[in-house]
Amino acid sequence: MRQAKQERMVGMFLTEPGVVVQRELPIPVPRPGEVLVQLRATGVCGSDVHYFRDGRIGRYVVREPLILGHETAGDVAAVGEGVTALRVGDRVALEPGIPCLQCAPCREGRYNLCESVSFMATPPVHGAFVEYVVHPAAFAFPLPDDVTYAEGAMAEPLAVGLQCISRLGDVLGCSVLVAGAGTIGQMAVLAARAAGAASVTVVDPVPYRLQVAREMGACEAVAPCDLDAGRLFDVSIEASGSQAAASLVMGQTRRGGRIVLVGLSTKGDVCIPVGSIVDNETDVLGVFRYANQYAKAIRLMASGVVKTLPLIGETFALRDVGAALAAADEHRDRCVKVLVLNSGKA
């Protein structure tokens, strides 16, 4: 095993809501089957912003100082015993959830539903706003030369978009409605287009996000009030978590249609009309993170079929993670994705 030269590194810790502090900590050493990765680019996710602002998301509470960030890519800096698929210097994207691979959902291949998953930046597991992490080699995916670190970071939310399509099944030739044009909604647009949807319509109240959705391949992107109330779609993806959006997709999906719910409300549960689901024989599907989507996400970016970089609105240095989190929270009207760059190069 080869170890990186420095022994200490910088990590950015959320110590209390709204406060991120730079601290030094030892560079971890990879155990058998793990790699040490020098991180280069890490996206700021909505969940990071919630932890930053509120110190909690539902039952997950930040009790000890926590390093946030889980959308990340970098360079392999050392490999643990038994790692043969990766070498020092390989560029990789890290799938941030490490499942147990023992429980029933894991054995079914639905490891996103693992009950003892260790997921970066979900308390008490540290995340990626740090210089180095150790990670199982099996969850480190090589990036082809023409896929940047920034795109490697974007593989994470793209994997969620791909999971939506996996859950829906065939969308070839379908009309698709996407409610919510945050990162996940935008990734759903990319995934739906890549899967052959005939049309993708996006609704969101923020004009800037609608403009980005058009760049992502939406045929139409409008404010919710501008969507013809009588119009029906084959397939709908709810990516906002709001009650209004859930009601909208329920009302605008055709009989026998399919709906994916991927938005999670942070303000209490959202209600859906069971009577209409029964009456219309609607297939309503939940999506939680993703399983087996990372390699696909990277291939789609490498081939040029999917372009994620236009989502990145602002970039910050690692030491400015606090500002990055604040920007992701406050600049919703002019930025979809905020990226943290450890080395200055994307």
- Using CB under 5 A as the binding rule, the residues of this chain from 157 to 196 that contact Zn ion are none
Residue 45 as a binder of Zn ion (CB under 5 A): the answer is yes
Q: Are 316 and 338 in contact (CB under 8 A)?
A: yes
Range in contact with Zn ion (rule: CB under 5 A) among 34-42, 49-57, 98-106, 146-154:
98-106
Range in contact with Zn ion (rule: CB under 5 A) among 28-36, 94-102, 134-142, 229-237:
94-102
Beta carbon of residue 59, minimum distance to Zn ion (angstroms, whole number): 18
Q: Give the list of residues 6+ apart from residue 228 with CB closer than 8 angstroms, or none.
A: none
Applying CB under 5 A, which of residues 30, 99, 136, 152 lies at the interface with Zn ion? 99
| Pick 106 or 318: Cβ nearer Zn ion | 106
Sign for the pseudo-dihedral over CA of 68, 120, 264, 159: positive
Q: Are 48 and 328 in contact (CB under 8 A)?
A: yes
Binding mask 54-93 for Zn ion (x = CB under 5 A): ----------------------------------------
| Pick 26 or 286: Cβ nearer Zn ion | 286
Beta carbon of residue 136, minimum distance to Zn ion (angstroms, whole number): 14
Q: What number of chain residues touch Zn ion (CB under 5 A)?
A: 6
Applying CB under 5 A, which of residues 100, 138, 232, 323 lies at the interface with Zn ion? 100
Beta carbon of residue 46, minimum distance to Zn ion (angstroms, whole number): 7
Beta carbon of residue 85, minimum distance to Zn ion (angstroms, whole number): 22
| Pick 92 or 155: Cβ nearer Zn ion | 155
Beta carbon of residue 62, minimum distance to Zn ion (angstroms, whole number): 16
Sign for the pseudo-dihedral over CA of 336, 154, 122, 109: positive
Given phi > 0 = left and psi -120 to 50 = alpha, else beta, which region is 333? alpha
Sign for the pseudo-dihedral over CA of 337, 241, 250, 243: negative
| Pick 79 or 164: Cβ nearer Zn ion | 164
Applying CB under 5 A, which of residues 25, 88, 103, 285 lies at the interface with Zn ion? 103
| Pick 111 or 233: Cβ nearer Zn ion | 111
Sign for the pseudo-dihedral over CA of 250, 253, 254, 255: negative
| Pick 103 or 295: Cβ nearer Zn ion | 103
325 vs 69: CA distance, rounded Å: 10
3 vs 288: CA distance, rounded Å: 36
Beta carbon of residue 247, minimum distance to Zn ion (angstroms, whole number): 25
Binding mask 104-133 for Zn ion (x = CB under 5 A): --x-------x-------------------
| Pick 106 or 155: Cβ nearer Zn ion | 106
291 vs 225: CA distance, rounded Å: 35
Beta carbon of residue 225, minimum distance to Zn ion (angstroms, whole number): 29
Closest Cα partner for 46 from 64, 20, 65, 71? 71
Binding mask 297-326 for Zn ion (x = CB under 5 A): ------------------------------
Beta carbon of residue 48, minimum distance to Zn ion (angstroms, whole number): 7
Closest Cα partner for 318 from 338, 343, 337? 343
Given phi > 0 = left and psi -120 to 50 = alpha, else beta, which region is 158? alpha
Closest Cα partner for 160 from 137, 132, 180? 180
| Pick 90 or 151: Cβ nearer Zn ion | 151
Give whole-number Cα distances, 106 to 49, 113, 242, 287, in Å: 29, 7, 30, 16
CA torsion 168-224-157-328 (nearest 10°) is -170
Interface with Zn ion (CB under 5 A):
45, 99-100, 103, 106, 114
